[in-house]
Structure 1
Amino acid sequence: MTATMAAHDHGVRAEAARRRTFAVISHPDAGKSTLTEALALHASAITEAGAVHGKGDRRGVTSDWLAMERERGISITSAALRFEYAGMVFNLLDTPGHADFSEDTYRVLAAVDGVVMLLDAAKGLEPQTLKLFDVCRHRRLPVITFVNKWDRPGREPLELLDEIEQRIGLRPTPLTWPVGVAGDFHGVLDRRRGGFVRYTRTPGGATRAAEQLVSAEQAEAEHDTAFAVAREELDLVAATCGDFDPDSYAAGASTPVLFGAALPNFGVRQLLDTVVELAPAPAPRPDAAGATRRLDAPFAGLVFKVQANMDPAHRDRIAFVRVCSGRFERGMVVTHSATGRPFATKYAQQIFGQDRAVLDTAFPGDIVGLVNAGSLRVGDALYDGPAVRYPPIPSFAPEHFATVTARDSSRYKQFRRGVEQLDSEGVVQVLRSEQRGDHAPVLAAVGPMQFEVATHRLEHEFRAPVRLDRLGFSLARATDVAGAEALRTTSDVEVFTRGDGALLALFPTKWRLLSLQRHHPDIRLDPLVAGTE
């Protein structure tokens, strides 16, 4: 190896060690987008948080840029934010919390190295949080837990720790501990560094909260009863949970826990410092065959998200690519795994919510936005040098189905282009059949809110108002050509072709499915797996 090559390899590894690529996951309304902005605020990536007025006025929220997100105050699509803090490069991915958009969240989890799990202090572990944690466990993603909204009434901290251990099997190891019950938050005890951190609110929580590290003696004098209770609880925690163990955390057996409140920016700096210190840096990723490609191998990246029309002024399409190995350089010509054809990367951008900037170089862990990448789809790989394919990102089993047709036949071209775009992004699955024809494709969704997003975008982005007619199907199974032919004359069952070529048989009820399987056991009807098994 030449000195130049050795220096190049070392440079890639050194840059990878500076990356922290992670997702924030939670149940809806736990404060995920607010925390995302608070992290960016504390890293000085933004000067003022936008989520200071709750759901009624979220016009400044950096990571929520779709019109529907700002109207409803919920995250509908994932967003990427890149910023620097303490000498590290953060690639933070904000994910949708609503269960109807789980598929987008699962795609994001295929692109990160770790996770911050956000819990509402009053609600604890909720159903969607549990489902997302199952995916983290499946992908062996280490989890840092942040208990949010401690400035509002909530549950006892010991009760929340017990719930984490009992319901998801993670041993909680608190790094900070609240002084004052939920709703009467004075600050936190820092278990690792010692001392009491006191917070001072800023108007509306729009800027970083002032912090002051005071001695235990001063804290006890100022918060006599609350401080004494916190010390007693910490003694119990030390006896039952023990201290933080990095090996246990990396293995997914324990989770460091911090307490805070994202809206007034309490405890956010401690969370940032914890991510810097504990969250894993990018590591070699296995390919579809189970082999790993070294971090300093030639460039390879995974397409995990495709999004069109992020900026109404630029009607373009961006493919989000996680750099898995090597050094990416804007303008390099790589190979597209799905086609084997060359792919030019002239238009590469760094993404920060809706904002973009030209990106010249990137390293493992970074997220690259490739503009007008019309041929790229979720799950594709791009590579330089030896070929690589990554494990597929499975699609969810849809449970809601509806035909979609253009209200204005003169807008059919726009309608068709919009449906194809939504399909390629994974907003909904698009099913077609000869019986229904191209003018009336079937939209298949995990949850009904996906239909609202699809129809809203078709009308406002593609100027193609549509009519949606719900169908009486409730589950889908994968079949083959022989099965499709056998089911052609079966009542209450239809077979469609999905955008990726898969044949799906739709059934009105599970009882109809069981009946058909009992009478025709030779027909292939396989469950659609969501990627957690």
Structure 2
Amino acid sequence: MCSTRIVKVLSAPLWSRLFLRRQKYVWYSFNKRYSRELSSLSAEGAENSNLERDINKLRNVGISAHIDSGKTTLTERVLFYSGRIREIHEVKGKDGKGATMDFMELERERGITIQSAATSCFWANHPINIIDTPGHVDFTIEVERALRVLDGAVLVLCAVGGVQSQSLTVSRQMNRYKVPRIAFINKLDRQGANPFRVVQQLRDKLHKWAAPLVIPIGLEEELKGVVDIIRREALYFEGRFGEQVVRKQVPEALVHDVEKYRKSLVEMIAELDEYIADKFLSEQEISEEELTGAIRKVTVNLQFIPVFMGSALKNCGVQPLLDGVVQYLPNPKEKENIALRLVRKEVDGEMKQLEEPVVLSPSADEKLVCLAFKLEDGRYGQLTYLRLYQGTLKRGDYIFNSRTSKKVKVPRLVRMHADEMEEISEAVAGDICAVFGVECASGDTFTDGKDTFSMESVFIPEPVMSLAVKPKSRETSNNFTKALARFMREDPTFHFFNDSETKQLIISGMGELHLQVYLERMKREYGVECEAGQPQVNFRETVTKRTKFDYLHKKQTGGAGQYGGVIGYIEPSDDSLNNEFVNRVVGNAIPPNLIPAVEAGFREACERGSLTGHRVQGVRMVLEDGKSHSVDSSELAFRIAAIMAFREAFPRAEPAILEPVMTVEVQVPTEFQGTVMGALNRRRGIIISAVDYGELSVIQAEVPLYEMFGYATELRSMTQGKGDYTMEYKEHRETTRQIQQMLVEKHQKEQAERK
């Protein structure tokens, strides 16, 4: 029998000598004292103590995935093993407390993450800032702005479901912000788990080099631990909560598999790293240090995804993942961040203000540059989350908003742990913190005033669904207005406006759940009960052929009149999401200073189409000629001329209605696969794929959002409550002739009723 030794699970410099001396670990005593030590250090300024946040050791990490892949459960284990919390609570725990990071009452009731939450912990003497993000596509903005400020990420995947629709979306978001990542294949204890199939999906669907660094010891009910294939060690997780990592020899039955996957890993890294390739081709031994160093290099360069495995719920495989975060993800110095500096330069004899790209240096001694990436209105006023890219921010400092040029004071500086706060006296480059009492908007850049910088803003997707709402009682109108203003300030994907025709207040968002959550929050947090109409799909209108226009606006009312003529054509644009204005006027048929008025009129006309009243997109207006008058031509005249010319040409350009199409992924027991696919077809869905994984089938389809209302109830009835689905916006696509006719008739009827 091979000898075993218990190795450390929680790394903290305060306890390393004690651990090595005793070779054993008493969990509750450690946790209690570690938490007490953190509290006392925080009160005295922990950032300047022996737990100092060294930027070379700092990791800023997001945990992202498809819905129900186990992100929050994983984060709970990370916090527990690192000594940040004293006990584990489940997402849908029987004790009613819920997971630490799901601190909103709505999150605990529904068992989903709605808002991203930040925390921090230590592992192997490395400070780690963690942001747990939602998985549901309706709250995708939370993932966007988290990844915007993070240096690395953990992509969580289900061992049964594999790379799902939202996994692809999250991967695209990580690519957008150039975020290196490691993958964690979770739920190895579930029936039908196949982690190696998921690894292959990472390669095929995400088009990334990926290979496992650990392999499981058993699967499903037989899951016992994992094998570290780099060090050729078997890891078992013992103790009540898997807090003790026991290292043993690799089971004899897995020795061959370990060598096979290790060789495959070395071959893959050799494809990406010249040094490893030279040693591999010359058949020299590659040491553990050389291999891990090469893996870190290609991971930071976005060439490779290291894959870890386990089951967060069964307390298996989380500690090796934390080791991987420390070992393979970059520190703030290893990720390039670019800001735009406003400078005045002479161009063609004129002084102009230009934007000059500048690579920021993550040093505490540089000029301060930080980004406000998330806002929350809490008990103590507006809480603003900041990512520091360079410089130092201290409590009591004055900082400058680059957008508004306003100078504000930082009265309180805190580090967040879910909804709890730890007072700190300063934060340095690379850190994530929060401030109170600073009025700003999401995406604002703050500096120390010595230079004017502006960071790249977050990508904000367009809302796809709307509701007409109004408070049930007049007494709550003030709170209703306050709630709307707050939600819109916090969430850039939430909009509201007053419809000038229907006189209704319309709220728009990313989906049905998104709007339902805000209505429920309005009720709980502001005491406002609302009446809501049926969800309305945000259709769009466009043109399908080129059509000429020649319009003269002439009006004489005594004194100076209005005179403006525009000649040109409208046509479909190459950019189907936006409208385009092209000026091809030669000479002074239209004075150059009045051309912007023509463009303004065109864009104003696109706000409401003539078919259904929805916004027009994907149209190019080309202005070729015009007519003007030396006295009567004005900006107003040409703006009106452009509006009327567009409205006259639009019906002749064979207009079409565009509807939002969703990527729908349905997971059902295989016995219901045919029934579910038939139901999707009846909803005008196009089946993209249907894959059987034993007793589970995963169906992917593209379905118009207009057809998806009530699908949750239908799916439950078809599958005896065993089916589940997710959907996300894909694109606006031209609807069928029958649907278009129905929508036009409905709009005409509503117009007639208003008259």
Task: Give the TM bin, normalised by the shorter chain.
Answer: 0.7 to 0.9
Q: Report the equivalent of 2:143.
A: 105
Aligned to 2:196, the other structure's residue is in SS state helix
Q: Report the equivalent of 1:164.
A: 202
Residues paired across the two proteins, number = 476
Pick closer, same or farther for the CA change 1:28–1:486 going to 2, 3 Å.
Answer: closer
State how far apart, in whole Å, the 2-side matches of 1:88 and 1:263 are: 25
Q: Report the equivalent of 1:508.
A: none
Structure with the larger strand share: 2
Pick closer, same or farther for the CA change 1:446–1:191 going to 2, 3 Å.
Answer: same
Alignment of 1:49-198 (within 5 A): 49-51=88-90, 54=92, 59-198=97-236
Aligned to 2:434, the other structure's residue is in SS state strand
State how far apart, in whole Å, the 1-side matches of 2:170 and 2:96 are: 25
Alignment of 1:101-500 (within 5 A): 101-200=139-238, 202=240, 207-216=241-250, 219-220=251-252, 225=253, 227-228=254-255, 230-231=257-258, 234=261, 237-238=264-265, 241-242=268-269, 245-283=295-333, 284-288=336-340, 289-296=356-363, 297-309=366-378, 314=379, 316-373=381-438, 375-384=439-448, 385-426=450-491, 428-433=493-498, 435=500, 440-470=504-534, 472-475=536-539, 481-482=600-601, 483-485=603-605, 490-494=610-614
Tell me if the contact between 1:154 and 1:183 (Cα under 8 Å) persists in the aligned partners: no
State how far apart, in whole Å, the 2-side matches of 1:155 and 1:430 are: 41
Pick closer, same or farther for the CA change 1:446–1:247 going to 2, 3 Å.
Answer: same
Name the TM-score, length of structure 1 as normaliser.
0.83
Q: Report the equivalent of 2:63.
A: 24
Pick closer, same or farther for the CA change 1:19–1:489 going to 2, 3 Å.
Answer: closer
Tell me if the contact between 1:248 and 1:254 (Cα under 8 Å) persists in the aligned partners: yes
Identity among equivalent positions (%) equals 22
Q: CA deviation at 1:215?
A: 2.2
Tell me if the contact between 1:351 and 1:369 (Cα under 8 Å) persists in the aligned partners: yes
Computing the radius of gyration from Cα coordinates, the structure with the larger value is 2
Pick closer, same or farther for the CA change 1:471–1:264 going to 2, 3 Å.
Answer: closer
State how far apart, in whole Å, the 2-side matches of 1:255 and 1:122 are: 19
Q: Given residue 256 of structure 1, which amino acid in structure 2 is its aligned partner?
A: P
State how far apart, in whole Å, the 2-side matches of 1:319 and 1:398 are: 24
Pick closer, same or farther for the CA change 1:400–1:55 going to 2, 3 Å.
Answer: farther
Q: CA deviation at 1:322?
A: 0.9
Q: Report the equivalent of 1:504.
A: none
State how far apart, in whole Å, the 2-side matches of 1:127 and 1:250 are: 25
Pick closer, same or farther for the CA change 1:122–1:493 going to 2, 3 Å.
Answer: same
1:102-123 deviation digits (Å, cap 9, x = unpaired): 1111111101011100111111
Residue range with higher mean Cα deviation, 485-494 or 132-141: 485-494
State how far apart, in whole Å, the 2-side matches of 1:399 and 1:31 are: 27
Q: Given residue 216 of structure 2, which amino acid in structure 1 is its aligned partner?
A: P
Q: Report the equivalent of 1:510.
A: none
1:397-440 deviation digits (Å, cap 9, x = unpaired): 11101122121111111111110000000174223247169x84
Residue range with higher mean Cα deviation, 95-104 or 157-166: 157-166
Q: Point out where structure 1 has 5 or more consecutive residues left out of the alignment.
A: 1-12, 497-514, 522-529
Pick closer, same or farther for the CA change 1:155–1:264 going to 2, 3 Å.
Answer: closer
Tell me if the contact between 1:122 and 1:154 (Cα under 8 Å) persists in the aligned partners: yes
State how far apart, in whole Å, the 1-side matches of 2:404 and 2:654 are: 38
Q: Report the equivalent of 1:39.
A: 78
Aligned to 1:255, the other structure's residue is in SS state strand
Q: CA deviation at 1:304?
A: 0.9
Q: Report the equivalent of 2:44.
A: none
Q: Given residue 15 of structure 1, which amino acid in structure 2 is its aligned partner?
A: D
Tell me if the contact between 1:199 and 1:212 (Cα under 8 Å) persists in the aligned partners: yes
Aligned to 2:210, the other structure's residue is in SS state strand
Tell me if the contact between 2:62 and 2:153 (Cα under 8 Å) persists in the aligned partners: yes
Tell me if the contact between 1:156 and 1:182 (Cα under 8 Å) persists in the aligned partners: no
State how far apart, in whole Å, the 2-side matches of 1:486 and 1:369 are: 40
Q: CA deviation at 1:461?
A: 0.8
1:475-517 deviation digits (Å, cap 9, x = unpaired): 4666674222465573412469xxxxxxxxxxxxxxxxxx959
Q: CA deviation at 1:335?
A: 0.2
Tell me if the contact between 1:130 and 1:168 (Cα under 8 Å) persists in the aligned partners: yes
Q: Given residue 441 of structure 1, which amino acid in structure 2 is its aligned partner?
A: L
1:210-267 deviation digits (Å, cap 9, x = unpaired): 2211123xx33xxxx4x35643653563476456633321221211111111123211
CA RMSD of aligned residues (A): 2.8
Tell me if the contact between 1:351 and 1:368 (Cα under 8 Å) persists in the aligned partners: yes
Pick closer, same or farther for the CA change 1:451–1:246 going to 2, 3 Å.
Answer: same
Q: Given residue 389 of structure 1, which amino acid in structure 2 is its aligned partner?
A: S
Residue range with higher mean Cα deviation, 179-188 or 390-399: 179-188
State how far apart, in whole Å, the 2-side matches of 1:126 and 1:63 are: 23
Q: CA deviation at 1:379?
A: 0.6
State how far apart, in whole Å, the 2-side matches of 1:295 and 1:486 are: 44
State how far apart, in whole Å, the 1-side matches of 2:608 and 2:173 are: 36
Pick closer, same or farther for the CA change 1:467–1:478 going to 2, 3 Å.
Answer: farther
Aligned to 1:16, the other structure's residue is in SS state coil
Pick closer, same or farther for the CA change 1:76–1:487 going to 2, 3 Å.
Answer: closer
Q: CA deviation at 1:306?
A: 0.9
1:14-40 deviation digits (Å, cap 9, x = unpaired): 832221001001111111001111111
Q: Report the equivalent of 2:41.
A: none
State how far apart, in whole Å, the 2-side matches of 1:365 and 1:489 are: 47
State how far apart, in whole Å, the 1-side matches of 2:303 and 2:505 are: 45
State how far apart, in whole Å, the 2-side matches of 1:436 and 1:184 are: 64
RCO comparison, higher one (Cα < 8 Å, 6+): 1
Pick closer, same or farther for the CA change 1:148–1:48 going to 2, 3 Å.
Answer: same
State how far apart, in whole Å, the 2-side matches of 1:371 and 1:495 are: 38
Q: Given residue 402 of structure 1, which amino acid in structure 2 is its aligned partner?
A: L
Aligned to 1:467, the other structure's residue is in SS state strand
Tell me if the contact between 2:230 and 2:262 (Cα under 8 Å) persists in the aligned partners: no
Tell me if the contact between 2:371 and 2:444 (Cα under 8 Å) persists in the aligned partners: yes
